[in-house]
Amino acid sequence: MTTTKSASTSDSSASTTQTSSVAESLSTSTTQISTPTSSSTSSSTTSSRPSSTAVNLLVNGDFETGIGTNTTGGVIPGWSDPTNGQSLYRERLEIQSAIVRSGSGALLITAVPTPLDPSNSIAASLPLVQRPPIVPGTTYYFSAWNRQSIPGACRARWTVGSSTLMNSETTLSDSAWARTDIIWTASATDTQVFVQLTTICKAGTAAWAGVYVDDAYFGTSPL
């Protein structure tokens, strides 16, 4: 893919938000669209799993539960597909152990073609979501590590939000893990947030392409 983007949209009740995409052995660019008070930063990082003091509000964010799970149009422990399958592509969710960033398991999301697009001419957009509870007015930190399965095929777009949305999109390498970071503050009325990954694979390479995900974290302490 040619660009890496992040975007945020804020209503008047939301606090300032930030995003950054950080890659290991990978150069990405970040663009943020927001209210004048918002800002965006990128920096190098070496952190991996949450520290002992950080509580991960995501269920199975490390993808260590359900290793060997392989389902098309279904769910994996802690996560679900909010669209219940795609019309042109369906997503296969697999917690595998062949390619991981840490631990024993990592998620592989793969675009499975259907007869509706036999020529593989349409890009695949594969969502995966989790909705952890939150405390209104609290600032939360999100991070996840991503890697594509086929060279040049896919990118990862993470979205965190409720009334206030914060997006971060990362172009991926097939040989290096790239970290996505989002800082998000709940409004005074927010009680639940959604954390969503949309795997976007371009037309012509979408079929059977996908993204590996590992060490996803969402909590009140930065890593």
Task: List, for residues 62-104, the tens digit of each pLDDT value.
Answer: 999 999 888 876 678 999 877 655 556 778 889 999 999 999 9
- pTM reported for the whole predicted model: 0.74
**Poorest-pLDDT segment among 117-131, 172-186, 206-220:** 117-131
For residues 15 and 38, give the distance between their C-alpha atoms in angstroms, rounded to a whole number.
9
DSSP conformation letters of 132-194? -B--TT-EEEEEEEEEESSTTTEEEEEEEESSSEEEEEEE--SSS-EEEEEEEE--TT--B-E
Q: pLDDT-based confidence at 168, cuts 50/70/90?
A: confident
For the cut 80, the answer to whether the pLDDT of residue 134 exceeds it is: yes
Is the pLDDT reported for residue 12 higher than 50?
Answer: no
pLDDT for res 51: 53
Would you kindly state where each structural domain of the chain is located, as residue ranges? 8-34+56-219
User: Of 38, 15, 6, 5, which Cα lies nearest the Cα of 162?
Assistant: 15
Q: Which CATH number fits domain 8-34+56-219: 3.30.465.10, 2.130.10.10, 3.40.50.300, 2.60.120.260?
A: 2.60.120.260
